Chain A
Amino acid sequence: MNEFTLIFRNDQNPDVKFSPEQMQGVLQQWRDWMGGIAAQNKLANPGNRLGWDAKTVRPNNVVTDGPYAEIKEMISGFIVVKADTLDEATEIAKGCPVLKMNGSVEVRSIIPTNM
């Protein structure tokens, strides 16, 4: 089994506020999706959600607010899944709730590092 990272991106607009019921619904979709992956014994790491606050550091100590300005879609989180092939990992990604929010999932193979 190989491991792949699923990177979630969506247009994060801090001004859009969900009602508690909507929030509950979104959370439920994520929990069901991740529970379903874990039930297949294919969840290697539940990863993390990423917050809104961001800064980017560039050479010569140039620090700007926010992530890369030219990328409209911000990374909102990631998980790591176990799969034999990139295609299988992509199949898992197709169920991701971020897609219903007009976001996208980037599927990347992981190269183990021995440091």
Chain B
Amino acid sequence: MQNDKQLIPHLFRTEYSKITAVLCKLFGIAHIELAEDIASDTFMQATETWGLKGLPENPTAWLYTVSKNKAKDYLKRNTLFTQKITRAIQNDQNEWYELEVDLSSKNINDSQLQMMFAICHPCISAEAQIGLSLRILCGFGIEEIADAFLTNKETINKRLFRAKEKLRTEEVKIEFPKIKEISKRLDAVLITLYLLFNEGYYSLSKNTILRKDLCLEAMRLNYLLVANPNTNLPPVNALLALMCFHASRFEARTDQHGEPVLYDDQDVNLWNQELIAKGEFYLNEAASGNSLSKYHLEAAIAYWHTKKNNTPEKWESILQLYNKLLIIEYSPMAALNRTYALARARDKADAIIEAEKLNLSGNHLYFSLLGYLYTGANNIKALENYRIALKIAKSDADKASIKKQLERILANK
């Protein structure tokens, strides 16, 4: 019983998402709130009952039975609603049948996959897609979502409400896309999973446990796609590989006070070799077919970062991967990283010339990069750039890491 405190929130989170997906699939997207309400009611009852009588033998089965009964009760009480949705479900079938809530693991997986496609619908913004994914597919509480986005509950509630309203008015169907359309629809799903993972990995939130959970949830959803033969496609594997490689450094990238530890200062012994091996497996799986997605390139870059030794081959490969990545899709982050790789693969003087063309003077990382490039050759210029970076950096973590660099240069003078 001593683990109840940890077990229950976790159980609630995973089971909430499963029950909601199955019920929502059954009722249709227009009744998404009804599905959520029944799931929430179930957990309310669980908290009360379990608090008095202790945990049942099989908590999951208990939750499923109670939620099924609640769904049936609701349908009995609301015959109008029942007739409306059973008619929709029945379609051409002649016989009326009792609505069956199917909480088998196969139907749970199918429902969650279909929900994923419904939520990642282009009619709602990426931010709303991530928020809804966190709520509906991952079972996070509104407060946790607000914490992850560094905002308040009201903002998240409003955002989710508007998104659900939109899915309703657009009459988005909860179904598996047609085979021909999968790869197109999959793009939006992968972007959401990518952003969901990044939200956890790069979030400024100090809640490291929550951030890790966000990443693990993105990986779990990505794994659902890999486990289904229709969606087990090269970019899906590449994205999962990317997540595995990044996640392998979870333990090494923050110290015991929750402060970030830069890549070069990390203890390699804390890198998770099992996740690195998994990443390599999925990267190999991603190598079939002839499409090269940005996930392939980012995964390959992340692969090289799992090698601590700074061989010339490592940095030349990273540089060429960034070249390709930028040609596919520009981003300021990739431009800065490419210039850093250029300095490591060739020399800092070349990189300074390229850095000055980047036109990213609003970005503190740009000045940090220049600071790094000038360090050694011209420390006065290095300090100058790091000081500008310090002035425009916003988060405390960024400021702290810039200060560390400034101190390093001053100590070497």
Contact = CB atoms under 8 A, between A and B. Distances in A.
Contacts of B326: 35, 38-39, 43
A39 B359 CA distance: 10
A31 B354 contact: no
Contacts of B320: 28, 31, 35
A34 interface: yes
Interface residues of A, number: 12
Contacts of A43: 326-327, 330
A57 B176 CA distance: 50
Nearest to A91: B357
A11 interface: no
A80 to B, nearest CB: 12
Contacts of A40: 335, 357-359
Interface in B296-311: none
Interface residues of B, number: 17
B379 interface: no
A36 B327 CA distance: 9
- Helix, strand, loop or mixed for chain A's interface? helix
B339 interface: yes
Contact of A34 (B323, B330, B339, B358): B323
Interface string A32-49: 101110111101001000
A36 B322 contact: no
A41 B354 contact: no
A31 B342 CA distance: 12
B198 to A, nearest CB: 20
A28 to B, nearest CB: 8
B327 to A, nearest CB: 5
Contact of A41 (B324, B330, B339): B330
B294 interface: no
Interface string A18-37: 00000000001001101110
A41 B363 CA distance: 15
B375 to A, nearest CB: 21
Contacts of B322: 35
A78 B322 CA distance: 21
A95 B324 CA distance: 18
A32 B315 CA distance: 13
B338 interface: yes
B357 A38 contact: no
A4 B359 CA distance: 20
A36 B330 contact: no
Contacts of A39: 326, 330, 334-335, 338-339, 354, 357-358
A84 to B, nearest CB: 12
Interface in B326-362: 326-327, 330, 334-335, 338-339, 342, 354, 357-359
A52 to B, nearest CB: 24
Contacts of A46: 327
A36 B322 CA distance: 10
A38 B359 contact: no
Contacts of A31: 320, 323-324
Contacts of B358: 39-40
Nearest to B338: A39
Contact of A36 (B324, B334, B357, B359): B357
A43 B327 CA distance: 7
Nearest to B339: A39
A41 B326 CA distance: 8
A35 B323 contact: yes
A38 B330 contact: yes
Contacts of A41: 330, 335, 359
B10 to A, nearest CB: 43
Interface in B310-325: 319-320, 322-324
Nearest to A27: B320
5 contacts: A28-B320, A35-B322, A35-B324, A39-B357, A41-B359
Interface of A: 28, 31-32, 34-36, 38-41, 43, 46
Ranked nearest first, the 9 interchain pairs of A and B with the lowest CB-CB distance are A35-B323, A38-B326, A39-B335, A41-B330, A31-B323, A38-B327, A46-B327, A39-B338, A40-B357
Given A32-B319, A39-B357, 13 more contacts: A28-B320, A34-B327, A39-B326, A39-B330, A39-B335, A39-B339, A40-B335, A40-B357, A40-B358, A40-B359, A41-B330, A43-B330, A46-B327
